[in-house]
């Protein structure tokens, strides 16, 4: 039986474990203030999130199928039925958000402390590429649940990339696998998310960690006495000790900085156990925050992606929201400036800054131009993100009834679009479930869905298979919602014109103060119309329309439902204005 010492010697002779341990754990780190020491933990927290994303991603992949027919159901199964699936999916989702926040904070503190300077230029450059990889992880992973939010956010994101001059069409086709977001897009995003990007991440993380160990963690920035007394001389690289106007060479500054660093490093504390303990505490705190967020805000399932939808808000995730908002301030021909040129210029500056900022000044106050640039850029990104998040939704989200959502899912899962269209999108073999009136009642339709071979063509073979009774009921509720939510009463039109006719036109009658509602049924569901009539400001904060629900208004819930069904049946689009 080998002793522990013999086993350690065996590994050391073959793998050099002692040298690795000395390089990783016995290295010294310059002393700093308690605040700076905690800032140093950002790198370890970021590495922890990388590992967390890898582990939870592998667990999720065991229950995922990258096809439009199954992706949404897979995400739904993970959240509702898989053991601890909702928790693992929540860790992965919130971990992605945390990873973007932490890597942004890590890069910002590195930039402000001047840690990108000699001899750590390569460390900084690999960090910039890691930032890009993290953003691509977020972009490609967002589509995988295949719900409405994921689908339309991807449409927006690829459209932004498509505004690149000259090569925009090629970029769009590369990501989408065609001209539209569809099955090929999902396959490509999944391959990039679980194969290509993890491989790139492993390479850059390994190189980055090697450079961190090789070059050491930079010393906390501090103001040297000559910088404080002679600010102009400091900016010019003039050493007051050798006479005014005498220029200190960059090589001399670097040599002096390296000597000072090695002195501070030797006087500092070893990584193990002092700094490793702080890293462990920071990682546990970060994990605790993520777990709390998972319990308080579980990852939503949403509605299955519907390319035919005309009422969903196309909006990217929060870390691309600043770019989405910036596009609103540029006219159509100038979109490429905001979408491509400005981010491209920012990336170029980040990659090149170590090579044109060569002086060894590190304290933010000794680098007013660089510090001002960083603060201005951060302020702009935060401002655009907040404005974009608070901007009113053109199509506020109103959840459908659970049976309608389930029927919508069944419509896509069963590939009903092979025979039927919805608002003109789909096959023409069967009737359009939105535009063509139903020729049969609920009993006939549900019987047809459950026993198609007996109801439609008795004795003949049909392609459609029968559904369970609860499935046919859900699918009928979805069809009925497309048809306007069911029939409305004879007094519905009178209720509309009496309460709404002063502002809105339907069928050529009414006022012009509000929009023409003659075709509102083509773009709004009965659930949305009902909710909007009850409380317009709740859906659109700038709405000037009053609430009509009692006690604020003068209509009952039943009367509003009647008006909503009346409007949902209005399918004649208003004529174009001359």
CA distances, 126 to each of 49, 111, 132, 206, 380 (Å): 18, 14, 10, 10, 25
Other C-beta atoms closer than 10 Å to the C-beta of 278 total 16
**SS3 call for 270:** strand
Single out the residue of 282, 509, 524 nearest to residue 398, CA to CA: 524
Q: Which residues of the chain have pLDDT under 50?
A: 227-246, 578
What tokens does 117 get?
């300077």
| CA atoms in the 13 A half-sphere facing the CB of 266 | 5
Other C-beta atoms closer than 10 Å to the C-beta of 472 total 21
Q: Name every residue whose Cβ is closer than 8 Å to that of residue 123 and which is 6 or more positions away in sequence.
A: 115, 116, 208, 211, 212, 215
Residue 573 confidence (pLDDT) = 63
DSSP class of residue 247 equals: B
- The domain at 492-568 falls in which architecture? Orthogonal Bundle (1.10)
Q: What residue ranges in 194-278 does DSSP mark as E strands?
A: 269-270
Q: For strands 421-422 and 425-426, give the pairing.
A: antiparallel
Q: For residues 29 and 268, is the Cβ–Cβ distance under 8 A? A: yes
CA distances, 468 to each of 143, 446, 451, 465, 472 (Å): 30, 10, 10, 10, 6
Are 30-221+270-389 and 402-482 in the same CATH fold? Answer: no
Q: For residues 508 and 534, is the Cβ–Cβ distance under 8 A? A: no
CATH (one of 1.20.140.10, 3.30.70.1230, 1.20.810.10, 2.40.50.1070) for 30-221+270-389: 1.20.810.10
Q: Would you identify the CATH topology of the domain 402-482?
A: Cytochrome Bc1 Complex; Chain D, domain 2 (1.10.760)
Residue written as tokens 């900022």?
Answer: 357
Residue written as tokens 């462990």?
Answer: 280
Give 405-448 pLDDT, tens digit per residue.
888 888 887 888 888 888 877 788 888 888 888 888 888 888 88
Domain ranges of the chain: 30-221+270-389, 402-482, 492-568
Residue 190 confidence (pLDDT) = 95
85-112 and 121-141 helices, crossing angle to 10°: 150
Residue written as tokens 């295949």?
Answer: 146
DSSP per-residue codes, 97-154: HHHHHHHHHHHHHHHHTTTTSTT-HHHHHHHHHHHHHHHHHHHHHTTTT-BHHHHHHH
Rounded to whole angstroms, the Cα distance separating 75 from 82 reads 10
Predicted structure pTM score: 0.76
Rounded to whole angstroms, the Cα distance separating 417 from 8 reads 65
> What helix, strand, coil percent values describe the chain, rounded to 5?
65, 5, 35
DSSP class of residue 576 equals: P
Rounded to whole angstroms, the Cα distance separating 362 from 112 reads 8
- 510 φ/ψ angles, rounded to the nearest 5 degrees: 130, 180
Q: For residues 560 and 489, is the Cβ–Cβ distance under 8 A? A: no
Residue 257 confidence (pLDDT) = 77
Residue 401, exposed/middle/buried by CB under 10 A (0-12, 13-18, 19+)?
middle
């Amino acid at each position: 039986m080998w002793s522990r010492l013999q086993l350690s010697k065996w590994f050391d002779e073959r793998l050099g474990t002692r040298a690795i341990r000395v390089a990783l754990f016995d290295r010294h780190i310059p002393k700093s203030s308690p605040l700076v020491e905690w800032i140093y933990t950002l790198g370890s927290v970021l590495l922890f999130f990388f590992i967390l994303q890898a582990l939870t991603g592998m667990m999720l992949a065991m229950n995922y199928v990258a096809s439009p027919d199954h992706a949404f159901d897979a995400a739904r199964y993970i959240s509702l039925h898989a053991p601890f699936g909702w928790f693992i999916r929540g860790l992965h989702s919130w971990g992605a958000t945390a990873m973007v926040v932490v890597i942004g904070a890590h890069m910002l503190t590195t930039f402000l402390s001047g840690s990108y300077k000699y001899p750590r230029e390569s460390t900084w450059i690999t960090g910039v590429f890691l930032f890009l990889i993290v953003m691509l992880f977020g972009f490609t992973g967002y589509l995988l649940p295949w719900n409405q939010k994921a689908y339309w956010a991807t449409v927006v994101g690829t459209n932004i990339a498509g505004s690149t001059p000259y090569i925009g069409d090629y970029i769009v086709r590369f990501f989408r696998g065609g001209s539209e977001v569809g099955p090929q897009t999902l396959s490509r995003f999944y391959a990039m998310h679980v194969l290509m990007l993890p491989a790139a991440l492993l390479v850059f993380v390994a190189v980055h960690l090697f450079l961190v160990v090789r070059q050491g963690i930079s010393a906390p920035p501090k103001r040297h006495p000559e910088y404080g007394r002679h600010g102009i001389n400091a900016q010019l690289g003039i050493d007051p000790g050798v006479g005014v106007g005498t220029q200190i060479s960059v090589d001399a500054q670097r040599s002096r900085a390296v000597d000072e660093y090695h002195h501070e490093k030797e006087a500092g504390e070893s990584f193990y156990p002092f700094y490793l303990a702080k890293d462990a505490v920071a990682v546990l705190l970060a994990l605790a925050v993520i777990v709390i967020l998972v319990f308080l805000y579980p990852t939503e399932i949403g509605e299955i992606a519907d390319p035919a939808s005309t009422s969903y808000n196309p909006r990217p995730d929060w870390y691309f929201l600043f770019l989405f908002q910036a596009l609103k301030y540029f006219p159509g021909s100038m979109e490429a400036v905001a979408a491509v040129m400005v981010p491209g210029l920012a990336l170029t500056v980040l990659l090149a800054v170590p090579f044109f900022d060569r002086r060894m000044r590190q304290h933010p106050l000794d680098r007013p131009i660089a510090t001002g640039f960083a603060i201005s850029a951060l302020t702009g990104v935060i401002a655009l993100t907040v404005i974009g998040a608070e901007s009113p939704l053109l199509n506020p989200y109103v959840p459908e009834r659970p049976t309608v959502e389930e029927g919508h899912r069944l419509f896509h899962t069963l590939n009903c679009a092979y025979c039927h269209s919805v608002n003109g999108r789909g096959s023409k073999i069967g009737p359009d479930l939105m535009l063509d009136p139903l020729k049969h009642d609920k009993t006939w339709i549900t019987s047809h869905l459950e026993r198609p071979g007996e109801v439609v063509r008795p004795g003949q073979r049909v392609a459609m298979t029968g559904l369970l009774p609860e499935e046919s009921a859900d699918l009928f509720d979805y069809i009925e919602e497309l048809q306007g939510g069911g029939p409305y009463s004879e007094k519905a039109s009178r209720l509309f014109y009496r309460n709404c006719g002063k502002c809105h036109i339907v069928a050529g009658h009414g006022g012009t103060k509000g929009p023409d509602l003659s075709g509102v049924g083509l773009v709004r569901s009965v659930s949305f119309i009902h909710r909007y009539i009850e409380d317009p400001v709740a859906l659109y904060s700038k709405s000037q329309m009053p609430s009509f629900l009692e006690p604020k208004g003068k209509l009952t819930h039943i009367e509003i439902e009647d008006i909503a069904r009346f409007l949902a049946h209005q399918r004649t689009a208003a004529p174009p204005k001359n």
